[in-house]
Amino acid sequence: MISPNKREEPLVYELSRPGRRGIQFPDPDVPRTKLPSSLLREDLNLPEITQLDAVRHFQRLSQLNHSIDSGFYPLGSCTMKYNPRVNEDAARIPGFLYTHPLQDTNTVQGSLALMHELQEWLKEIGGFAGVSLQPAAGAHGELSGILMIRAYHLARGDKGRRKILIPDSAHGTNPASTTMSGLELIELPSDKRGNVDVKVLRSACSENVAGLMITNPNTLGLFEEHIEEVVDIVHDCGGLIYGDGANMNALTGIVRPGDLGFDVMHYNLHKTFSTPHGGGGPGSGPVGVSERLMDFLPDPLVTIIEDSDEDEPPLYGFKTPPKTIGRMKAFNGQFGTLVRAYAYIRAHGGDGLRGNAEHAVLNANYLLSKVRDAYHLPFERTCLHEFVIEGRWRDVPNVHALDISKRLMDYGFHPPTNYFPLIVKEALMIEPTETESRETLDAFADALLEIAAAAHNNPDELRTAPQTTPVGRIDEVRAARNLVLCCHTQYPSNPDPSADPES
Amino acid sequence: MNWSAPDDRRYTETDEWIMIAGDTAKVGITDYAQDQLSDIVYVELPATGASFDTGDIIAIVESVKAAADVHMPLSGVVTEANRDLEDQPDKVNSDPHGDAWFIKVKLHHPSKIDALMDSEAYAHHCAARNN
């Protein structure tokens, strides 16, 4: 018998048969109109399958996938924490669910109150003067932040500031956001303890520097030991500080980036604040800013138009910051995601958020302590919410980080982040998050230890992994060199429009 | 050590090699660089006639592990780019110091090549980073 896990699922196009359909449309309640022939095309081959076949197909694909609901997901810098079900209840409250962004603001006061309160909380959590909920993802927040920094300098007539400094331990999105903003980047090396090299930073600072993008803790999972000095050096040369909030889960309730002197930072609600991540739902990347960037925030902000009195709650509405960089997104951010983040903050409170950060750091250090004798740790320091080990051993040169990750899949774990950050050879970046039990951490550590032993005793076991997954070892080189981006239908769709009762 | 650094050319700290050949110089990435990147799957090259200063980014290589910039070792003008690499990026893995040269350049100051690392210094530079 074929293991259900090994059964191949055909493409939806391969399931297609001419004439099958999933839905019978009701009679229209508006007059039937023929589509103009210029809008009709015959090359749009959509699959034709029944509703049941569609349900089974996607159910099956979902079962082949690994998700936070099906197993441990220690993907470093991604904070794959549990998405509490109560968040989903909140997001499905009809008053939130069935609103439209073009409704009169008087009819959506509850939604605006939620957004306003979330803005205020994110200000408090990060130590910022203002927050915009507009950006739709982390990198979108980065782009918003760099555009604000650029606008700030230009508004002062300071037109020569075109360089953004970025440490070599930064997320790859930082250089991309800088380039998209029309600015140029200068990469800063790390020192021997994994911090920004302060000497190099000092020499790179000039009247051409618009700002520094920094992640703290950085992608090595290490707190920048000279962060205040770094901030001062950049401020002294007239630059601003962009904080990448991807690793905020280590600091929430303990350190406020605004207090460190950061001028702008994005939050990843889909990391720190437990909303779904990746394919599980849209991201959300609100930006917080210091006093001097307040006027440049993305448009619009939610504000109180009339204060409350004894009888009436306050009246909420929108306002446009005077020097705004403009809209970053249609309407008002990822509203459903904002509701989930609100529910999370509300459920945990200030002490709870701090506790989550402390447990995230504790879990990472617990895991590190269990595996550090079997793996090389490039920077011998206490980690924060994540850590990076080398996935290589000198005495077995043919075993790589990729082999370790592939073998972890056989144990039912999602692999850590591979080959990132680039400054660590054969990097494996591991972030357990606070929501994992000690038993799960132990099981993962045991798997890593067994794999380290197998690397020496039975390396083929690693090199041929995974054996138990729906698809075995992928030929990544061939896949990357011979890209096939187009799906060809096996069965042509019905070319005769007269056979379609809707036309 | 499983990479080589032939002594007929000069090297940069960012892992490019440059070799004078007649009126022009050839530029490529080193064996060490291709070994670090592993299987290379994509190469992006500059246009012929493009002018670059020392340190400018002239090309991009992508492997299954990472993307990396290729820098101009010395200022000059591109006279030819090795378009074969666009179809056969694996050549960079198999023959980094030979067939897989990236560009030919007309150097502004050919004599400056002597200031770059020789093969011995470059081998040291690589060994120091591999610890």
Domains of chain A with bracketed CATH: 86-347 (3.40.640.10)
For residues B39-62, b (16+ Cβ closer than 10 Å) or e, as one string?
bbbebbbbeeebebeeeeebbebb
Distance from chain centroid for Cα A16: 34
Residue partners of A352: CB distance under 8 A and separation at least 6: none
Separation in Å, CA of A122 to nearest CA in chain B:
34
User: Closest residue of B to A187, CA-based?
Assistant: B69
B65 → closest Cβ in A397, A419, A481: A419
Separation in Å, CA of A404 to nearest CA in chain B:
15
Separation in Å, CA of A28 to nearest CA in chain B:
52
- The pLDDT value recorded for residue A281 is 65
B64 → closest Cβ in A397, A422, A480: A480
Longest alpha-carbon distance in chain A? 76
Question: Cα angle at A82 between A81 and A87, to 5 degrees?
Answer: 120
B89 → closest Cβ in A419, A422, A481: A481
- Report the DSSP beta bridge partners of residue A187: A166
Contact A288, A126 (CB under 8 A): yes
HSE-CB of A259 using CA atoms within 13 angstroms: 10
- Report the DSSP beta bridge partners of residue A132: A287
What band does B1 get if pLDDT is binned at 50, 70 and 90? low
Q: Does residue B90 belong to the interface with chain A, where contact is any CB pair within 8 Å?
A: yes
Backbone angles phi, psi at A401, to 5 degrees: -55, -40
Q: Which helix (H) or strand (E) holds B35?
A: helix B31-37
For residues A310-321, b (16+ Cβ closer than 10 Å) or e, as one string?
eeeebbbbeeeb
The C-alpha atoms of residue A435 and residue A83 are separated, in whole angstroms, by 10
Separation in Å, CA of B32 to nearest CA in chain A:
13
Quote the crossing angle between the two packed helices A438-457 and A401-410, to the nearest 10°. 120
- The pLDDT value recorded for residue A148 is 98
A481 to B41: CB separation less than 8 angstroms, yes or no: yes
Residue partners of A103: CB distance under 8 A and separation at least 6: none
The C-alpha atoms of residue B59 and residue A481 are separated, in whole angstroms, by 18
The C-alpha atoms of residue A463 and residue B96 are separated, in whole angstroms, by 26
What band does B131 get if pLDDT is binned at 50, 70 and 90? low
Q: Does residue B64 belong to the interface with chain A, where contact is any CB pair within 8 Å?
A: yes
User: Closest residue of B to A479, CA-based?
Assistant: B41
Q: Does residue A419 belong to the interface with chain B, where contact is any CB pair within 8 Å?
A: yes
Q: Which helix (H) or strand (E) holds B49?
A: none
Phi-psi region of A224 (alpha: psi -120 to 50; beta: other; left: phi over 0): beta
Contact A449, A371 (CB under 8 A): yes
The C-alpha atoms of residue A405 and residue A372 are separated, in whole angstroms, by 17
Q: How big is the A-B interface in CB pairs under 8 Å?
A: 21
- The pLDDT value recorded for residue B70 is 96
Write the secondary structure of A280-337 as one string of H (helix), E (strand) and C (coil). Answer: HCCCCCCEEECHHHHHHCCCCEEEEEECCCCCCCCEEEEECCCCCCCCCCCCCCCHHH
Candidates B15, B37, B64, partner chain A, best to mutate (most A CBs within 10 A): B64
Residue partners of B13: CB distance under 8 A and separation at least 6: B117, B125
ipTM: 0.76
- The pLDDT value recorded for residue A499 is 43
For residue A75, what are its two tokens?
Answer: 């993907």
The C-alpha atoms of residue A291 and residue A130 are separated, in whole angstroms, by 7
Cβ neighbours of A302 (radius 10 Å): 25
A477 to B39: CB separation less than 8 angstroms, yes or no: yes
Place of tokens 């191949």: A8
Cβ neighbours of A473 (radius 10 Å): 15
- Report the DSSP beta bridge partners of residue A243: A214, A265
Separation in Å, CA of B104 to nearest CA in chain A:
25
**Chain A positions in Cβ-Cβ contact with residue B37 (cut-off 8 Å):** none
Is the pLDDT at B66 greater than 90? The verdict is: no
- The pLDDT value recorded for residue A487 is 60
Q: Does residue A477 belong to the interface with chain B, where contact is any CB pair within 8 Å?
A: yes
**Chain A positions in Cβ-Cβ contact with residue B89 (cut-off 8 Å):** 481
Count H helices and E strands in chain A, helices first.
14, 12
Residue partners of A421: CB distance under 8 A and separation at least 6: A168, A169, A218, A219, A220, A388, A427, A429
**Chain B positions in Cβ-Cβ contact with residue A473 (cut-off 8 Å):** none
The C-alpha atoms of residue A390 and residue A191 are separated, in whole angstroms, by 18
Nearest to A273 by CA among A83, A5, A477, A402: A83
**Chain A positions in Cβ-Cβ contact with residue B65 (cut-off 8 Å):** 418-419
Please give the order of strands across the beta sheet that includes B57-63.
B40-44, B57-63, B67-71
**Chain A positions in Cβ-Cβ contact with residue B14 (cut-off 8 Å):** none
Taking CA atoms, B59 is separated from A82, B53, B55, B70, B85, in Å, by 42, 13, 11, 5, 11
Q: Name the DSSP class of B115.
A: G
Nearest to B110 by CA among B54, B28, B46: B54
B39 to A476: CB separation less than 8 angstroms, yes or no: yes
Q: Does residue A474 belong to the interface with chain B, where contact is any CB pair within 8 Å?
A: no
pLDDT one digit per residue (tens) for chain A, 503 residues: 455 566 778 989 889 999 999 998 899 999 988 999 988 888 777 899 999 999 999 999 988 889 999 999 999 999 999 999 999 999 999 999 999 999 999 999 999 999 999 999 999 999 999 999 999 999 999 999 999 999 999 999 999 999 999 999 888 899 999 999 999 999 999 999 999 999 999 999 999 999 999 999 999 999 999 999 999 999 999 999 999 999 999 999 999 999 999 999 999 999 999 999 866 568 999 999 999 999 999 999 999 999 998 888 999 999 999 999 999 999 989 999 999 999 999 999 999 999 999 999 999 999 999 999 999 999 999 999 999 999 999 999 899 999 999 999 999 999 999 998 888 989 999 999 999 999 999 999 999 999 999 999 999 999 999 999 888 998 888 888 887 776 654 444 444 444 444 43
Domains of chain B with bracketed CATH: 10-129 (2.40.50.100)
